[in-house]
Amino acid sequence: MKNINLKNIIIMAFLTSIFSCKEKENKVYIYQTEEFAVKERSMKFDLRDCSKILENFATKNTIKSNSIFTLDIIYEDNYIFKKNLEPYSLKTGKYNISGIWINGNTGELKEIKTEKNITIILDPSEHIPFVQKVIL
């Protein structure tokens, strides 16, 4: 009887530790994939709308003329535009999420500067980022 109770306690402790330690996964959608298209359709603002929001922001904030912004991903519900070509290492898959974030549900724009990286694979033979040129 003691063996059964001890065994049950160990199993319950193990299962509890597995399920309680699960970290929230931040969803990433890579441009020009079916997952990106599905996510884009589920939000109020699409890439074209967000490009216009970005252009209005660049104009109002006198960002250098002829600026080029690229977009590789939607991170959670945010389109992330990068002003400069950020270094990306295909070897490590490290992608810094700093940039101009535009929420696809609210249209809210935020400039985010962070050291946080996510791991994704952007195969240079298959992936071409979205490019938005802002001419002032």
Q: Is residue 18 part of a domain?
A: no
Q: Is residue 6 part of a domain?
A: no
Q: Is residue 9 part of a domain?
A: no
Q: Is residue 84 part of a domain?
A: yes
Residue 48: which of 75, 79, 22, 26 has the closest Cα? 79
What's the number of CA atoms in the CB half-sphere (13 Å) around residue 60? 7
pTM of the model: 0.77
Q: What is the pLDDT of residues 98-122, one digit of tens each?
A: 999 999 999 999 999 999 999 998 8
Q: Is residue 119 part of a domain?
A: yes
Q: In total, how many domains does the chain have?
A: 1
Q: Is residue 48 part of a domain?
A: yes
Q: Is residue 10 part of a domain?
A: no
From residue 53, alpha-carbon distances to 120, 124, 134 in Å are 26, 28, 11
Q: What is the pLDDT of residues 21-68, one digit of tens each?
A: 444 567 999 999 999 999 999 999 999 999 999 999 988 876 666 688
Residue 109: which of 69, 66, 136 has the closest Cα? 69
Q: Is residue 102 part of a domain?
A: yes
Domain that holds residue 41: 25-134
Do the beta carbons of residue 118 and residue 75 sit within 8 Å? yes
